[in-house]
Structure 1
Amino acid sequence: MIETAVKAALEAGDAILDIYARDFEVEFKADESPLTEADTASHEIIVQALETTPYPVLSEESKAIPYAERKSWTTYWLVDPIDGTKEFIKKNGEFTVNIALIKDGVPVLGVVYVPVEDTLYCGVSEGGGAASPKAWKSVGCKGKSFDAIVADAAELSVSNYAASADRPLRVVASKSHCNDETLKFISELEATYGAAERVSRGSSLKLCMVAEGVADIYPRIAPTCEWDTAAAHAVVVAAGGRVFEYRNGSEAGEYTTGSDSVSDVPYNKENLLNPYFVVSGLN
């Protein structure tokens, strides 16, 4: 399954870059989110590839699939053909192709491809993280076989940052969604860990930063949808981190200890909007 997903992401990335290199038109969907021909081309390539597997596909660019149908899906693909279409339009390179395999509401396989950087993040965690999680990153994937990509990959691991570390806590803070509640959360972190260094990137790369250990925690107290996060969520879990539901009024410390009092973000809900969440690579 991982080989199928990787090949689909790379092929979609090539098609996206062909369009990225020239002028293109931008349409707007009913929710006012942008749509380009690159989103559509990527969607078609990925869906065609994944339809060779035994599992159904839910893509952001698919026609709406009723919950009455998909609630019976125990295993399925969840796809965002371009996560960060706004970044694609700005041509800043910070957009990704996201492909996840969901099993019983848990992302167990994730592929995040960054076409402009030709960088691939992968995570596989069979049984929802209970058996041999593994996450890796590979750079310079074009023209390589899957085996060569894996052979050149570097294993990923969260930072396991502790308050005694001799560097600042690195907090991912969204450039466009850093609201008052996010600032309050960061302030609570700083009360425990000291002054924090704030870092940011576009799209699902923010979660990948935590998986890679170049950031320690990412609070997302703003709207996202399931396809925005599922692939990178799988990479985070495989790298040893967690993606918790954020509850209004809870203190930041609750999300940094691995406490069972906070729940992991679920998938295949009737409403495909995610709850607010916190991505943690802390002890």
Structure 2
Amino acid sequence: MKSEELGQWMSAAVNAAIAGGAEILDVYGKDFDVEIKSDNSPLTIADRRAHLKIMELLEVTGLQVLSEEGREMKFEERKDWAHFWMVDPLDGTKEFVKRNGEFTVNIALIHNGQSIAGVIYVPVKKWLYVAMPEMGSYKVENVEPSQRMKISEVREKGSKLPQEKSGPFVVVGSRSHMSPETEEFIDKIKQEHGEVEIASMGSSLKICLVAEGAADVYPRFAPTMEWDTAAGHAIAKCAGKNIQDHTTGAEMKYNKENLLNNWFIVQ
């Protein structure tokens, strides 16, 4: 894969994420029905519309797509994919339903089990996070859902991550309900760093807080799926951070037979 080809792929992914966000916002401003999936997570027409738009715009890349809202794909069908897109068309449907703006469109490029590049678009806040090897990670603000953007424009208009941080040690977590394991993890950090501040955010924005330097660590001791983390993983990794599998101690892997993630720590 040449860098020029990667740039073309990522330009397509950027525009697919933004266009997916436009579909979501069109639903966001209206009344909508909420279905409950078999895993008790919510599903709306916005998820489906974003999925279809992203699939349409990624087609130009010629790569396979594994999407949360796409058809189920058996491991035998996908295990030999060298490059493919992993997509969550609407990460944070609960946040969408609550209308708090903290939901995202996630697109990651997976290569041989590793997340190597990613795009996260935050439609309500108009933030765009983009990462790829050699370029690094960038955050672009004021990205309208009607905009189209090339990778070169991301570098021109964006801020390179991570940014400078000062103040207390910041842990990403819930202020209202933490698991005993998370409380224990934070207690250890308090012993080491003293004052600790808790930052709370929805969807893949939790990973982005660490990637951009606004937070120091994000422990996730609860279930997630690969499409929840893949794009954020690339953005954190290209910003010099790491997502460590809490079970194996190694970097998180993708396109496993079981798409459920182990617990992990971003830092």
TM-score, length-scaled by structure 1: 0.87
CA 1:32–1:202 in 2, change beyond 3 Å: closer, same or farther? Answer: same
* Distance of 2:265 and 2:177 partners within structure 1: 14
Q: Verify: 1:146 aligned to 2:146, yes or no.
A: no
Aligned residue identity for 1:110: G
Distance (Å, rounded) in 2 between the aligned partners of 1:201 and 1:68? 36
Displacement after TM superposition at 1:145 (Å):
4.3
Contact 2:130 2:154 in 1 (8 A): no
- What does residue 174 of structure 1 align with? 174
C-alpha deviations, 1:99-151, integer Å up to 9, x for none? Answer: 000001111110000000111011112xxxxxx35000001122544244442
- How many angstroms does 1:152 deviate by? 1.1
After TM superposition, the structure 1 = structure 2 runs for residues 1-283 of structure 1, keeping only pairs within 5 Å, are 1-125=9-133, 132=134, 134-142=136-144, 143-147=146-150, 148-157=153-162, 167-175=167-175, 178-247=178-247, 262-280=249-267
8 Å CA contact 1:120–1:138 kept in 2: the answer is: yes
Question: Matched residues in 2 for 1:103 and 1:186: separation?
Answer: 34
| C-alpha distance in structure 2 between counterparts of 1:3 and 1:177, whole Å | 39
**For the residues of structure 2 that align with 1:266 and 1:219, how far apart are their CA atoms?**
17
Contact 1:158 1:216 in 2 (8 A): no
Q: Report deviation, 1:54.
A: 2.5
**Superposed displacement of residue 195, structure 1:** 2.3
Identity rate, percent: 46
Q: How many angstroms apart in 2 are the aligned matches of 1:186 and 1:218?
A: 10
Larger displacement relative to structure 2 (57-66 or 168-177): 168-177
Partner SS, residue 214 of structure 1: coil
1:176: how far off?
6.8
Give the CA deviation at 1:175: 4.8
Three-state SS of the structure 2 residue aligned to 1:109 is strand
Provide TM-score, normalisation by structure 2: 0.92
Write the distance in 1 (CA, Å) between the matches of 2:24 and 2:17: 10
Contact 2:138 2:154 in 1 (8 A): no
Letter in 2 for 1:200: S
SS in 2 for 1:51: helix
**Gap regions ≥5 residues in structure 1:** 126-131, 248-260
The alpha carbon displacement at 1:262 in A equals 2.4
Worse-matched range after superposition: 187-196 or 103-112: 187-196
Which secondary structure does the structure 1 equivalent of 2:60 belong to? Answer: coil
Q: CA RMSD in A?
A: 1.6
Contact 1:226–1:272 (8 Å) recurs in 2 = yes
Provide the rounded CA distance (Å) in 1 between the counterparts of 2:217 and 2:80: 34
Q: Name the amino acid aligned to 2:244.
A: F
* Distance in 2 (alpha carbons) for counterparts of 1:12 and 1:133: 24
Aligned residue-pair number:
256
Shift of 1:81: 0.3
**Matching residue's letter, 2:229:** T
Alpha-carbon spacing, 1:83–1:176, altered in 2? closer, same or farther (3 Å): farther
Deviations 1:180-208 (A, max 9, x none): 00110111112212121111100000000
Native 8 Å contact 1:218 1:279 kept in 2: yes
